[in-house]
Structure 1
Amino acid sequence: MLPFVFAGNASNVTNGNLCMMGTLIPEKVSGKIVLCDRGVNARVQKGAVVKAAGGAGMVLANTAANGEELVADAHLLPATTVGQKSGDLIKSYIFSDPNPTATILFEGTKVGIEPSPVVAAFSSRGPNSITPEILKPDVIAPGVNIIAGWSGSVGPTGLAIDTRRVGFNIISGTSMSCPHVSGLAALLKAAHPEWSPAAIRSALMTTANTACKNGQMIEDIATGKPSTPFDHGSGHVDPVSALNPGLVYDLNISDYLNFLCALNYTASQISSLARSNFTCDSSKKYSVTDLNYPSFAVSFQMGGGTGGTTVVKHTRTLTNVGSAATYKVSLHSQSESFKISVEPDTLTFTELNEKKSYAVTFTAGSMPSNTNSFGRIEWSDGKHIVRSPVAISWT
């Protein structure tokens, strides 16, 4: 066991708890394990600061911003990370014991950790600030503590003082979840060469999971609460189910051009994106809500309805990529603050690539500004479930 000290008690600056460059007093740190708070500077830099001050090891504690998320790093000294709850308990121990001690032990790899998966604290979140009518994110995928190839030109911490060289590293971030999804898209394209990028995205979204194996809603690790479509989008990707989604929401070039028209893009802006001349039809009414997206986001403007009620309509088209079947719709809402209706409520497909359209009506009364509520629309033939999340916002 080694002497254990809180970084805030081994510094003369107000933010000494963060173990930033030049903030630790070597005489109070030398030969000890140091407890540092996460935040502001890089996690691996905190370890470098402790080592430079003569520390023997580091415990990195999460704050409220990161909750119970545990991210592995290739520190320059023996180190471990703990969640906010454990961090608070450790601080209580250090503050109450006149001679606190600690040790860091490697107990091997542990499997079957629950809950899993979870939404990482750093994960990209909604709502969509640019186009609120398009729900973001689309999906979530593995992105925490991923073993990945690493360049030999820098050490595993990326710090200039790190002279170690490795072929692999443990990395976390959306830069890790993105290649997972890219690989899944390649897998689906190999299995279904005729599918468009939109069809592949749809298959990944409508078959994604929103619950853990224990049946509970995927947790937002930053808050410890159940996640919402603004956190997980359509859910956590499921490669096997995505290979056979039953139905897909497809899009072609014209759909995207019409979407740009609905956003009031100029002919010059559209041409720069489409790399072709295209002019929006002034006699045609374009609507963002007509984009054939696999999810729904509805933004109600306060005071915009009649008698306190506002109605928003969306249209969608489903393409059959499976066998002939009849799909029936089921509607789910988180609260009674809004209602969903679908017409028709049954779609029958008799052949491959057959398309059928439906309309969705969202009706909501007045709610306080910045209120959000959620639901989902599911089409099922008894074998497939084609899920679409619904996010309702009052602004």
Structure 2
Amino acid sequence: MAWKGQCVEGEKFNPATACNRKLIGARYYLSGFERDYGPLDPGSGTEYRSPRDGLGHGSHTSSTAVGSAVKNASFFGLAAGTAHGGAPRARLAMYKICWFKDLQGRCSEADIMAAFDDALNDGVHVISASIGASPPLVPFFASGTEIGSFHAAQMGVVVVFSAGNDGPDSSLVQNVAPWSLCVAAGTIDRRFPTEIKMPNNDTFVGEGFITENMRMPLIDSSTIFTDGSCSTDKWNGNSATKKIILCFSTVGPVSSFGAAIATYVANGSGVIFVDAKVKLTAQDDFIPTVHVDLHQGTQILYQLQSSPKIPVVQISRSKTSIGRTPAPSVAFFSSRGPNSLSPNILKPDITAPGVNILAAWPPKTPPTLIQIDRRSVKWNFDSGTSMSCPHISGIVALLKSAHPTWSPAMIKSALMTTAYMGDTTADKILAGGSLKAADAFDLGAGYVNPLKAMDPGLVYDMNTQDYIYYLCSLGYTKEQLKLIVLPSPDIKIECRGNNHSDLDLNYPAIVLSDLQSSSITVKRTLWNVGKVGAAYFASVESPQGVVAFVWPRYIVFSNEKEKVSYYVTVKAVKQSQGRFDFGEIVWCDGYHYVRTPLVVRVNNV
């Protein structure tokens, strides 16, 4: 049995340290939640008044980060193989802070901070937090996640956050503090082709998680919903029993999740959901759903409208296809930058797999929120930056194991400077991928490359005092700084003078969000974590509209852990207003490619 704020023993938990002479299994936090949102109803069937996972999100993310290897994992035969987390030998401690109420996940600031405090006191090395709030973002001194993650950075603990699922519009990225990692979601090269055969033998191939063959009448959404939008508030009362409904995302508009709910309410048996090609991906929408693009959907609609009677369609069981789809690319739902709180700090930081990730699921929890007659599962697919976040958390655990003396900033740097961004200077030796159309506000520094991050050659570092001066650049007062920073005799919680700039932070990316003068010079410092005597040469790809110069152009490291500073001068060569352009600085010794994104917006009209 679990007690709030107490240690819970679990036979299969092998946690970080001891607590009250017991091994930590899991903790849960309800005081703040119940004060803010009222009593939790454990009788709802979707929550337990304990650390137990009632929705599946916690099981899915934790197994993605550190799950042990399990053979024959699959979702009813789809994506079959051996599943394991990023760091399967890592030890896991759970801190449950968010709860399902009124069809939403809700978290209390007080509970978040209490969980951070307990985790840090318990001695964890990495904190994976797939949580966040959409803009407008509160100041750092008013955010439990940002205060908790700052304390973690002070104590040498890496915190990994999800970027949010508000894409593809710009400036909606969440968790933007420079002392934590913010992860965007990308695709992988696994798809689930699903064949739809019409009565005239025309065949369309969409995507879905169809586990059994289906043969049913197909009807247009307009016969069930007024104005044809597949939405519960547009249901006209007609029954769709034992029928499949053709729904368009552009009519309404409506999401596939909303269309599935509406079809369920109308007693339908399945959905063919038509959406833009960029959004085309399989989803488990709790009733069988096949996703097709707008061209295919339009052809299906024409056949439906020209048929003298209701056509019967054959939908075949989905298949698993690997290696036939260009990947990676940024997921359409992944929240983008620029950073709405501090535009000169690049967010998101990095991208990891976040689309249709197969991971563990509570066997007594249905695959979706609405309980229907389906077999129980031990594995389930899910998509979101909540899925990409634990991928990075597992990789961070491996980096901490390989480099125990590295600071959180050095680990972040290793991940960012070795990330894959497409056919750029740093990636010419790599093959595959399709990221060239994306930019640093979509992907951060790029798609994670775990093997290269283990040996990055050079890293950027930052410490608590650096972050304090960064906060000073935002205009925070001493009283506000004290709300964020843990007191320490080695730290000065004060702002020296009035000349602070967020451009001075030694971040592994350079963003000039408002270049008004003719030129500006930025300083960065690199630490050698590779071999002694290494010589690095700089190459620069200037963003459009500016010319960037690096000095010195080459660096020789005579000692291990030696640090050397370099300067980047960016000069505008045309008049412009309001458009961001993207380039890079790459330091290369013939083996390591240390890539720093360079993002500039000229605003000198």
TM-score normalized by structure 1? 0.87
Structure 1 residue 376 corresponds to structure 2 residue 584: yes
**Residue 107 of structure 1: CA displacement?**
4.1
Q: Provide the residue aligned with 1:291 in structure 2.
A: 505
CA change 1:120–1:281 in 2 (3 A) is closer
Cα distance in 1 between the residues matched to 2:483 and 2:373: 44
Cα distance in 1 between the residues matched to 2:392 and 2:318: 31
User: Secondary structure, in 3 states, of the residue corresponding to 1:236?
Assistant: coil
Q: Deviations over 1:29-76 (max 9, x none)?
A: 34332112348666345324324424332112224xx72430321523
User: Secondary structure, in 3 states, of the residue corresponding to 2:321?
Assistant: coil
Q: Deviations over 1:86-106 (max 9, x none)?
A: 334433443455555422112
Matches within 5 A, 1:59-74: 59-63=272-276, 67-73=278-284
CA change 1:289–1:88 in 2 (3 A) is farther
Q: Provide the residue aligned with 1:265 in structure 2.
A: 476
Q: Is the 8 A contact 2:230 2:258 kept in 1?
A: no
Matches within 5 A, 1:1-395: 1-7=215-221, 9-14=222-227, 16-20=228-232, 23=235, 25-27=237-239, 29-38=240-249, 43-63=256-276, 67-73=278-284, 75-76=286-287, 78-99=288-309, 100-152=311-363, 154-159=365-370, 165-211=376-422, 215=432, 217-218=434-435, 226-276=437-487, 278-283=492-497, 285-300=499-514, 304-305=516-517, 310-324=518-532, 325-335=534-544, 337-394=545-602
CA change 1:13–1:370 in 2 (3 A) is farther
Give the letter for the 1:331 counterpart.
V
Gaps of 5+ in 1: 220-225
**Residue 364 of structure 1: CA displacement?**
1.4
Cα distance in 1 between the residues matched to 2:341 and 2:256: 32
Cα distance in 2 between the residues matched to 1:314 and 1:12: 58
User: Secondary structure, in 3 states, of the residue corresponding to 1:86?
Assistant: helix
Cα distance in 1 between the residues matched to 2:367 and 2:433: 36
Q: Is the 8 A contact 1:207 1:241 kept in 2?
A: yes
Range moving further from structure 2, 198-207 or 255-264: 255-264
CA change 1:249–1:93 in 2 (3 A) is farther
**Residue 156 of structure 1: CA displacement?**
1.2
Q: Is the 8 A contact 1:45 1:159 kept in 2?
A: no
User: Secondary structure, in 3 states, of the residue corresponding to 1:119?
Assistant: coil
Q: Is the 8 A contact 2:232 2:265 kept in 1?
A: no
CA change 1:281–1:47 in 2 (3 A) is closer
**Residue 388 of structure 1: CA displacement?**
1.1
Indicate the percent of aligned positions where both proteins have the same amino acid. 38
Give the letter for the 1:296 counterpart.
I
Cα distance in 1 between the residues matched to 2:261 and 2:551: 61
**Residue 240 of structure 1: CA displacement?**
0.5
Cα distance in 2 between the residues matched to 1:85 and 1:352: 58
CA change 1:164–1:26 in 2 (3 A) is farther
CA change 1:131–1:92 in 2 (3 A) is farther
TM-score normalized by structure 2? 0.58
Cα distance in 1 between the residues matched to 2:462 and 2:302: 56
Q: Is the 8 A contact 2:229 2:254 kept in 1?
A: no
User: Secondary structure, in 3 states, of the residue corresponding to 2:322?
Assistant: coil
**Residue 214 of structure 1: CA displacement?**
5.3
Q: What's the C-alpha RMSD, in Å, of the aligned pairs?
A: 2.5
Cα distance in 1 between the residues matched to 2:529 and 2:574: 40
User: Secondary structure, in 3 states, of the residue corresponding to 1:115?
Assistant: coil
CA change 1:43–1:201 in 2 (3 A) is same
Q: Is the 8 A contact 1:320 1:354 kept in 2?
A: yes
CA change 1:98–1:374 in 2 (3 A) is farther
